[in-house]
Amino acid sequence: MTAPYPREWRENLKRFKTLFFGTSRNAKKCKIVNPEILDFEYDQKYERFTAKAIPALHIENHALGYRIQLYLMEFGLRGFLEGKCLFKSKYQHLSPKNQKEEEQWRKNRLKAYNGSLRHFITALASKTLDTDKSSEKTYTAEIPESSQEKLILSDIELAYKVSPLDGLNKNTAFAKKGLSFYPYPSSTVSRKRPITIYFEVNNLLLNDSGNSSYSVAYEMKSVKPSFWQKINPFSKGSFTISSSYSRRGTRRNEQEYLSIDLERIKPCEYTLTVHVTDEITRASRSSVTRIQVVE
C-alpha cells in the first residue's frame, strides 16, 4: 500500500509547522486545512529549508477563533540559524460553539501580542481583529535565532535497519537524510530480531568551540504483565530494559538511531520512552511510543 504522501514530505510538513506555528499551547490549536498544496525543498549539505504554497493556505486558529487565508510569498531557513518569511493574510472570525468558547477566545486574544512571526500566526492580535470585517495584511518576519528556541525531539520511528548510505545502497527507495532506512510497517514487532529506533534532535546549543554535548536515555517498560509474569511467583510486575549514552557533535541538528535486542524480553505491549538532554543548556525533551512485541 502506498502512503498518501511520501515520508520525506510528511517530515518536512512537521518541520514547517514547528517553525511556522511554534510549540505553544495556541500553536497546537492551529490547523492547516489544505497542507497538500505545500512544496518543500531541503538541501542537506547547506541545511537550507524552503517552503512554497500555491494558491493560498487555509488555516484555522481554534485558540483565538480565526480563519486565515494566507498567501505564502517567501519562506526560507538556513541551518535553524536564520530565516525569513513573507506572506499576505486575510482572516475572518470563526463562529463560536457557545458563549463560553466566545469568552475564552476573547481572553486569549487579550493575552496575545504582535512582534514575531509565530505570535502573529498563532495570536493574530492586531487591533483590526476586534472588528467583524475581514482584514488583510502583508507581514514580514525574521525567524528567530535558534539559540532562543527550545530543544526539539522528533517522534520515534521503528525500522528493521538503519545505516549510512554508500555506493551499494545509494539508490534505495528508503533514504532519509543520508541514511538507508527500512521502516517497520506497524508498531508490532517480533522478539526474534532486533529493532532499530530512529529519532532526530534539533536546536542543540553549540559551545565556544563549535561542539554540541547531549545525552540520550531510553526505556522499554511493559504496559501490563505478560502471561509469563502472571504465572511466575517471583515476578516483580512490569518488565523494563533501559540504557543511556552521551554524544558530542558539531551540528545543532542530529540524527540518532540505535538497535535494541528483544530476545530477552517477553511478548506483550511496551511503552518506549526516549529522553534527550542538552548538556550545555540542560534542556531536556522526551518522546514516547507504544510497541507490541510478539513471538
Percent of the chain with pLDDT over 70: 72
Q: Is the pLDDT of residue 12 over 80?
A: yes
| pLDDT of amino acid 54 | 85
The arithmetic mean of pLDDT across residues 79-83, rounded, is 55
Residue ranges covered by each domain of the chain: 7-147, 152-294
Q: How confident is the model at residue 213 (pLDDT cuts 50, 70, 90)?
A: very high
d(CA 179, CA 12): 16
| pLDDT of amino acid 124 | 41
Number of Cβ within 10 Å of residue 79's Cβ equals 14
CATH 3.40.50.970 assigned to domain 152-294? The reply is no
The arithmetic mean of pLDDT across residues 181-204, rounded, is 85
pLDDT in tens, 24-53: 677 778 899 999 999 998 876 666 788 988
